[in-house]
Amino acid sequence: MIFTPLGLGGAFLIAQERRSDHRGYFARVWCAAEFARAGLDTHIEQINTGFSPAAGTLRGMHLQIGEHAEVKVARCTRGAVFDVMVDLRSDSPTFCQAYATELTADNGHMLYVPKGFAHGYQTLVPDSELQYSTSAVYAAKSAHGVRFDDPRFKISWPLPVSTISDQDRGWPDFGPGHPAFDSSRGR
């Protein structure tokens, strides 16, 4: 695997090192030893998948705070998604900065999303699926989010939003008083 730092503290794009022959290719998508050599968290508590039949579906921007803060490693296993992370760590030099990239089943790229980052994605084609590993079990009391269109983050989604949950559309503005903002203080 090839680990490329993204300029947001602790975030990485991970590319497969494919070994190809007449049968196709073989590549690793997980190796604890390689993650550890890159200084990344190797603990996996859950592996989740999200499937969306319609292009333009938006999921996010989600994170868990407090004792259930989690690292995510996201990979598109079918179709294509526009994957976004936002640094919500108030003590970070990249606080409130976003990074976005296209993850596809064909390119095999993965995003390493550190603790303290919000994460979300938009499907670019119908029948897209994202798989992501997390370092913590889902805990409803720690689950929060930020609005996908919060102007503070300057995210340019590539498609009009065709489908989104009421919860994701209704997250409050990010700033003082927001649970994720207040939890990032004093880390």
What are the structural domains of the chain? 2-184 (2.60.120.10)
Please give the average pLDDT of every successive group of 10 residues along the chain, which has 187 residues. Answer: 94 95 92 95 96 97 95 98 96 95 97 97 98 96 95 96 96 86 58
- The pLDDT, as a whole number, for residue 183 is 66
Which residues are CB-contacts of 157 (< 8 A; sequence separation ≥ 6)?
58, 82, 122, 148, 149
Q: Is 119 a catalytic residue?
A: no
pLDDT, tens only, 51-97: 999 999 999 999 999 999 999 999 999 999 999 999 999 999 999 99
Phi-psi domain of 114 (left: phi exceeds 0; alpha: psi -120 through 50; beta: other): beta
Determine contact, residues 56/123, Cβ cutoff 8 Å. Answer: yes
- The pLDDT, as a whole number, for residue 5 is 96
Q: Compute the chain's Rg from CA coordinates.
A: 16
- The pLDDT, as a whole number, for residue 187 is 44
- The candidate with the shortest Cα–Cα distance to 59, out of 165, 187, 183, 184, is 165
- The pLDDT, as a whole number, for residue 170 is 94
Task: Report the C-alpha gap between 27 and 103 in whole angstroms.
Answer: 16
- The candidate with the shortest Cα–Cα distance to 77, out of 14, 128, 126, is 128
Burial of 166 (0-12, 13-18, 19+ CB in 10 A): exposed
Selected catalytic residue, list 62, 68, 119, 144: 62
Determine contact, residues 34/7, Cβ cutoff 8 Å. Answer: no
Q: Is 112 a catalytic residue?
A: no
Task: Report the C-alpha gap between 61 and 9 in whole angstroms.
Answer: 19
Global pTM value = 0.92
Selected catalytic residue, list 119, 121, 132, 178: 132
